[in-house]
Amino acid sequence: MTPPHKTIVFDLDGTLVDSLPDIIASFQYGFVSMGLPAPTDEEVRPLIGHPLEAMYAHFVPAHAASLCVIYREHYARNFVNRSRPYPGVVELLRTLRERGYKLAIATTKRTDMARRFVEALGMMPAVDYVQGTDGFPHKPAPDVIHRALGGLGRAEGLWMVGDTTHDIQAGRAAGLRTYAVTWGNHDAELLATATPDELQPDLGRLLEHLPPLPRS
């Protein structure tokens, strides 16, 4: 039997893609369209990475379900207005693949939306599998990581790379080493509380950990 594919799992929003401005804009649009006072960017930002309904429920529990419907409709039309891969990300993914690794995305976005988003950014060819969270426990539970690895067939997860403590907790729960980047949603101080194996301002150390695999 061939050995399992050595696989790196990445969070999407705030890790690979600077998508926060579009997410925040669509989140606030929901309030405006219902005539409710919209929270500020600073109020929304710490909640990103939680399921959408929980984010809205934080502000207006009675309207959370309706706001989710409005958000999804608006976000689907505006999700790449300002969203771009972080500098160096596309090159990093290419290098890891050239070295023989499989690459998976494990996100709290729903799978259909996540795949459309990755596609719209032109990043689909850069990864092997995109797994969203569709009605099962979200990060920090490890389920989305298990499913991402399962989607690749025989896959051995090596590292989970993310920008929040939820990513780090989920990665550890799935048995992966964990790599926190400091350019996303949680700052270095908060990320340190989750004790990732690496806490870095860039992805250089990831490449150091992952030398080219022997060709089989």
Instruction: Please give the residue ranges that form the binding site for Mg ion (CB under 5 A).
Output: 11, 13-14, 49, 163
Helices marked H in the chain: 20-33, 41-44, 52-59, 64-78, 89-98, 111-120, 143-151, 165-173, 188-192, 204-209
- Residue 135's CB is within 10 A of a number of other CB atoms, namely 6
Residue 146 C-beta: closest distance to Mg ion, Å: 18
Cross-strand pairs, 83:
none
| Residues facing residue 105 across a β-bridge | 10, 130
Say how far apart CA 199 and CA 176 lie, in whole Å.
15
**Upper half-sphere CA count for residue 185 (Cβ side, 13 Å):** 28
Return the residue nearest Mg ion (CB atom).
Answer: 14
Q: How many CB atoms lie within 10 A of CB 189?
A: 9
Q: How far is the CB of 139 from Mg ion (least distance, A)?
A: 9
- Minimum CB separation of residue 48 from Mg ion in Å reads 7
AA letter at 179: Y
Find the catalytic residue in 13, 18, 163, 167: 13
Residue the block writes with tokens 């606030």? 28
Nearest CB to Mg ion, comparing residues 147 and 186: 186
Q: Which is nearer to Mg ion, 50 or 177 (CB)?
A: 50
Instruction: Count CB atoms within 10 A of the CB of residue 96.
Output: 24
Q: Is 18 a catalytic residue?
A: no
Give the residue with the Cβ less far from Mg ion, 14 or 171: 14
Question: Toward Mg ion, which CB reaches closer, 61 or 87?
Answer: 87
Specify whether 11 is catalytic: yes
CB of 54 to Mg ion, least distance (A): 15
Query: Which residues are known catalytic residues?
Result: 11, 13
